[in-house]
Amino acid sequence: MINIILAGVGGQGIVLASKMITQTAMDKGMQVRSSETIGMAQRGGCVASHIRIGERIFSPLIPRGTVDIIIGFEPAEAVRYLTYLKENGIVIVSQKAIKPAFDPKATMEYDEQEMLKYLISHVKCLQIVDADAIYAECGSAKILNTALLGVAAATGVFGFSMEDIEKTINNNLPKKLIEINLKALHLGQSIAEENL
């Protein structure tokens, strides 16, 4: 059984990334369950996808302490889900913070460096991804989801290959978005390989 959590903020493309993982797994003949955040939270709130691949899975929500990989779309959201990670689980995280909308009475300043430090000191298998470099390379901020997917897939944890995800992108995305998403996927893959 493989348990995956994608965590970020509404608008970061988490639902689509989740769909790409689940579709690929299903196309490979695997059993899948997943759960999405849809509705009010999509307006800038915390959004998380739970994905479970394997036989005899009942709950669409993953129990704490059993997640194989957390894909954090920004630092604080990766930290928020750490209690779900199993021992020696993997965390992939974009270093670029999404600050909450300004609240003059906010009790804390969100310091992403502090969050990253926390991840570094608490997670053995951690991969920090430079989102700005990906944006610069691809010319769009919309492909962070696919790039992170590329990094995660390169770890081999999904149980399916990079080619399988390529197939999903080719078969399911609108034509004009295929090229840029494939580029982002491979960029993610090369980031992961550099760090191995």
Partner 1 sequence: MRELLMGNQAIAMGAICCGVGLVAGYPGTPSSEILETVAKRNPGHIYVEWSVNEKSAMEVAAGASYAGMRTMVTMKQVGLNVASDPLMSLAYIGVKGGMVVVVADDPGPISSQTEQDTRHFAIFSKLPVFDPSSPEEAYQMIGDAFAYSEKYHTPVLFRPTTRICHGYATVDVDDAYQEIKPEGFIKDPKWTIFPSLAYQSHLKIEARQPIIAEDFSSYHFNTITGNAKARSGIATGGISYAYTCEALAALNGECKLFKVATPHPFPEKLALEFLSGLDEVLVVEELDPVIEKELLYLCGKYHLPITIKGKLTQDMPNAGENKVESVNWAIVKFLSLPISPAGMPFDLPKLPVRPPSLCAGCPHRASFYAVKQAMKGQKAVFSGDIGCYTLGNAKPLSMVDTCLCMGAGITIAQGLHRAEPDAVNFAFIGDSTFFHTGIPGVINAVYNQTDIVIIILDNSTTAMTGHQPHPGTGATVMGNISQKISISEVLKALGVRHVVTQNPFNLEQTITAVKEAAAFKGVSAIIFEAVCIGRGEKASLYSIDPSKCTGCNRCLAELGCPAIVKDDKKVRIDASACFGCSLCLQVCKEKAIGSEKK
User: Which residues are near partner 1 by CB under 8 A?
Assistant: 9-11, 22-23, 26, 31-46, 56-66, 76, 79-80, 82-87, 99-106, 108, 110, 114-115, 118, 122, 135, 141
**Smallest distance from partner 1 to CB 170, Å:** 17
Nearer to partner 1, 59 or 195 (CB): 59
Nearer to partner 1, 80 or 186 (CB): 80
Using alpha carbons, select from 159, 142, 154 the residue that is nearest to residue 190: 154
Nearer to partner 1, 100 or 159 (CB): 100
- Answer yes or no: are the C-beta atoms of 83 and 70 closer than 8 Å: no
**Smallest distance from partner 1 to CB 88, Å:** 10
Buried b (16+ CB within 10 A) or exposed e, 144-176: bbbbbbbbbbbeebbebebebbbbbbeeebeee
**Smallest distance from partner 1 to CB 26, Å:** 4
Nearer to partner 1, 11 or 157 (CB): 11
Nearer to partner 1, 34 or 192 (CB): 34
> For residues 128 and 94, what is the distance between their CA atoms, to the nearest angstrom?
6
Nearer to partner 1, 82 or 153 (CB): 82
- For residue 31, give both structure tokens: 């059993």
**Smallest distance from partner 1 to CB 193, Å:** 26
- Answer yes or no: are the C-beta atoms of 52 and 31 closer than 8 Å: no
DSSP three-state, residue 92 = strand
**Smallest distance from partner 1 to CB 92, Å:** 17
**Smallest distance from partner 1 to CB 155, Å:** 19
Sign of CA dihedral 11, 141, 147, 68: negative
Angle at 34 between CA 120 and CA 101, to 5 degrees: 55
